[in-house]
A and B are shown apart, each in its own frame.
Chain A
């Protein structure tokens, strides 16, 4: 009479399949709740996926701009990206075995000014390659489709790849066009077109080496050596030989290190990632809460299954499968939504980017890791959140099935969670105030402590607010409080989700207002001059063409001019950190722009800058090199390593977000061979007509179209506005995170009502009106909302403080202002969300059929 042995345990699959089927049926039986719970996962996954879709795209955009294509076997550049004297290096390369020939090239990708029409048609940026016609052709073949290649002695002649026809069809052989150079506009003649298509994003333009050196004001210098190898060469071995021969100052076939500028941007996006994780955290709460209720609701079914022989493991599996189904569905929808969000994000960011970094094209990059991360996080969250309730479901006693439904009394003492939570919070505060390094960790710990303590806080907080509540809801308020206190765990989890959402909102407002204040202050200080000449892009200087001294000489000659000061630029690398070297004239620069000093005295520092190898580091640069005023550091220059002495730590709006070092323009010329001005400030004589002066300056910049002249005030406003608009994104994300929190609230209220159906029936049977039932639910929602908002305010203030001190520690001196607006907003949002979430449940509770409600199990 036992089960037939031959069919037994033939398939675990059948059981799993049946469990899945049952899970699906249960889920579809409660569509609203399933949708709400799944949505939480959807939002978390979408956020994380969207962020990781765009993050590499941002980095790639930079790399793309900086990568150049050459037809050579091996490309050698200096580690810092600086130019060097070919005579020192070229012969050593040529002498290496298997090197067939080598040629020195001065190559630079730069953005074309868009103002005043572009002689190169649709070309946004150009990869200008100065070559020695003879040796270049020995390194690689140049097959022509029209005209000829460059010849020795060519001046102002250019060769383009065939693809240029798509961008600028007028550029046929014999055509002439103007091009920006450091010495002003020059007219070039097209002498030939290559057979190859070339790059369309930044077309190659070949000119003679001498022309290129003149254009960039770097006579006698090259920055790239292209090498061709003989047929028997082992590329990797030759690469190694080259590196050995040339030493650590050179690198082989890699892109410029300037891509590291994306680092601060990545830091910003990491904050967004954190929001995504928090959203998933909320999703986990929601799933956990739902499944805990599911287990209680389904206790009879589960107990019956146990009675007829289901093992604990089988019951647990069943509930886990159900949460897994939601996790998978949520993840799939989240991926789609995330993709759409990312597309939106990119188009929103593109505008902001364009104003800072010209020529950078953002794109979505679908990497396996972005996809994998989102999928794993989404599914795992659901799995973990479902597992705990599932395990307790497995523990259901089969005896439950034999008893009629009894009221569930779950009022566990939450004392322990309160104690643990408070201890965590205290530890978090110690971390927070002990040093900036623990600030972010402290803030997150505080949040976690708050979540843990929440169950113990429900009853006291509810008690605290109920007198207030009873003003509106005289009798119903007590019932509502009782209902909340009966399930402190559930109320706590719901409260926690909303709390996190509100805390994030507060933190975001604090960060945004701190950051906006910082940018405004820096901008005001940085543009204290009257007129500013802005290049094609500010912030990224290595892909622009500046001007040689001819421009500043002409500006100085204007009758209105009092002072002209400029910024020059070079790339460097020190101790593995990429560093942007900014050259200023210590005599003139302080007159037109202000550096905000964190360490050292401005007067002394500028004086020191004019003598010897002294440097002012940006806070980020000082932090990266771990140096402070008085210490020395080694700077890799175009001519080997030089020791610089730190005389100050300071920044302005253009340098606060970079690893940077200010040195004198004299030192920049000596150590980096750079004499190009990339940014120019002017002060006018007192009483001069600013508008007239601007008109005069603009007349001059017609010859230097890479620059646009602005009155500082106008430019400042524009810059502040652009920066602030980027922050709206953060607000949008904070609001996005509130959506799952609101769903959680709605979910809990709905579940509470389902569970109390019979009680509501009793209330109605003994004479409670529909209105009273509705008010009970509304009062309960309000209590939950106030409870969450109260906790959210605490957590939000702590988080704001933590994040701001973290930012300050990396040198962005943001001041912590008490986020009063954020707090008020959070309180209002919390209460409104609670009221909103209560509408549907309150209505359905009021509409319950009395008789059916009384019979409800």
Chain B
């Protein structure tokens, strides 16, 4: 059963005389518990696709469903609520609130949802434990390493038990060791809790951990590989460069 489902999803920038198709009629189904990596050269539309899947942006035409909900018809408040309850985000620049502690940051989605503070913090501690950061909960973001900050961000994405986690270049701002640490954490999340994960990356070593990789080119799906986590970074890199040339 697919959890995310798009139909002829299209995003056009620019004016009608010279339309630029960032995304051109993309139809895609993501299964529950699937770990999907979206790759492609810059300008291929991979970020646009992620924003549309996350309800952060609105399509020019086409539809996005999250389970039964047609996201393209929701108003801003309903969309906010959907993001809060059913989607989790991990960003390249972590985006933790600098003045809050790690556990307060993690608790934020619940607090925004009106859950009592102590209850929210209790669940934040559980989420931090999942990502192995229990002992760093009372630190502010500035006191954490990059990898730790990104793990806290993952805990924040997990806390509301979302249907899907969307990650935008989650390792883009990390060194290779922290990057490995974060990718393994993502893989573990999928394996242990059957968490659906959609990730945008340009790093073949990160994509290699995914169950499935789709390659975007000029706003269209150029290739769709099911690797079941058995991908080799070299192969992926080769495929990318082939696409860039072709």
State A69–B202 Cα separation when bound (angstroms): 92
Q: Quick check: A402 and B91 within 8 Å, CB to CB?
A: yes
State A100–B99 Cα separation when bound (angstroms): 78
From B7-15, B36-44, B50-58, B233-241, the one touching the partner chain is B50-58
From B110-118, B144-152, B215-223, the one touching the partner chain is B110-118
From A12-20, A328-336, A590-598, A654-662, the one touching the partner chain is A12-20
Q: Quick check: B93 and A404 within 8 Å, CB to CB?
A: yes
Query: CB of B136 within 8 A of chain A?
Result: no
Hey, what's the 0/1 contact readout for B171-206 against A, CB within 8 Å counting as 1? 000000000000000000000000000000000000
Q: Quick check: A301 and B112 within 8 Å, CB to CB?
A: no
Tell me which residues across on chain A come within 8 A of B114, comparing CB atoms: 8-12, 14-15
Q: Quick check: A309 and B85 within 8 Å, CB to CB?
A: yes
State A3–B232 Cα separation when bound (angstroms): 37
State A306–B80 Cα separation when bound (angstroms): 7
Q: Quick check: B116 and A7 within 8 Å, CB to CB?
A: yes
Hey, what's the 0/1 contact readout for A1-43 against B, CB within 8 Å counting as 1? 1110001111110110110001001100100000000000000
Q: Quick check: A8 and B113 within 8 Å, CB to CB?
A: yes
Q: Quick check: A308 and B83 within 8 Å, CB to CB?
A: yes
| CB-CB contacts below 8 Å: B87-134 with A | 87-89, 91-93, 95-100, 104, 108-117, 119-120
> Which of B54, B80, B119 interacts with A310 by CB under 8 Å?
B80
Quote the shortest CB–CB distance from B211 to chain A (angstroms).
Answer: 19
Knowing A29-B99, A304-B95, A399-B56, say if A10 contacts B86 (CB, 8 Å): no
Q: Quick check: A15 and B76 within 8 Å, CB to CB?
A: no
Tell me which residues across on chain A come within 8 A of B91, comparing CB atoms: 304, 307, 401-402
Q: Quick check: B98 and A11 within 8 Å, CB to CB?
A: no
Q: Quick check: A2 and B76 within 8 Å, CB to CB?
A: no
Q: Quick check: A14 and B115 within 8 Å, CB to CB?
A: yes
State A22–B96 Cα separation when bound (angstroms): 13
Q: Quick check: A301 and B98 within 8 Å, CB to CB?
A: yes
Q: Quick check: A402 and B47 within 8 Å, CB to CB?
A: yes
Query: CB of B84 within 8 A of chain A?
Result: yes
> Which of B57, B81, B99, B161 interacts with A309 by CB under 8 Å?
B81
Query: CB of B168 within 8 A of chain A?
Result: yes
| CB-CB contacts below 8 Å: A49-107 with B | none
Knowing A304-B91, A308-B83, A309-B80, say if A22 contacts B115 (CB, 8 Å): no
Q: Quick check: B76 and A311 within 8 Å, CB to CB?
A: yes
Knowing A3-B85, A402-B56, A402-B92, say if A15 contacts B99 (CB, 8 Å): no
Q: Quick check: A22 and B56 within 8 Å, CB to CB?
A: no
State A401–B97 Cα separation when bound (angstroms): 12
Hey, what's the 0/1 contact readout for B71-86 against A, CB within 8 Å counting as 1? 0000011001111111
Query: CB of B49 within 8 A of chain A?
Result: no
State A22–B108 Cα separation when bound (angstroms): 11
Q: Quick check: A18 and B111 within 8 Å, CB to CB?
A: yes
**Tally of B interface residues using CB under 8 Å:** 46
Query: CB of A495 within 8 A of chain B?
Result: no
Query: CB of A305 within 8 A of chain B?
Result: yes
Hey, what's the 0/1 contact readout for A396-412 against B, CB within 8 Å counting as 1? 01110110100000000
Q: Quick check: B111 and A14 within 8 Å, CB to CB?
A: yes
Query: CB of A300 within 8 A of chain B?
Result: yes
State A130–B124 Cα separation when bound (angstroms): 85
Query: CB of A815 within 8 A of chain B?
Result: no
Quote the shortest CB–CB distance from A29 to chain B (angstroms).
Answer: 5
Hey, what's the 0/1 contact readout for A133-168 against B, CB within 8 Å counting as 1? 000000000000000000000000000000000000
| CB-CB contacts below 8 Å: A288-347 with B | 300-301, 303-314
Quote the shortest CB–CB distance from A639 to chain B (angstroms).
Answer: 77
Tell me which residues across on chain A come within 8 A of B97, comparing CB atoms: 22, 301, 304-305
Q: Quick check: A311 and B120 within 8 Å, CB to CB?
A: no
> Which of A29, A300, A309 interacts with B113 by CB under 8 Å?
A309
Tell me which residues across on chain A come within 8 A of B30, comparing CB atoms: none
Tell me which residues across on chain B come within 8 A of A307, comparing CB atoms: 54, 56, 83, 89, 91, 95
14 pairs from A and B in contact (CB 8 Å cutoff): A8-B114, A14-B114, A15-B111, A18-B111, A22-B100, A25-B99, A305-B108, A307-B54, A309-B85, A314-B112, A399-B51, A401-B89, A402-B51, A402-B56
* Interface pairs A-B: 10 shortest CB-CB: A309-B84, A25-B99, A304-B95, A309-B83, A9-B114, A311-B80, A18-B111, A398-B56, A14-B117, A14-B116
Given contacts A14-B115, A22-B99, A309-B109, 5 further A-B contacts (CB under 8 A): A2-B163, A304-B95, A307-B83, A307-B89, A308-B83
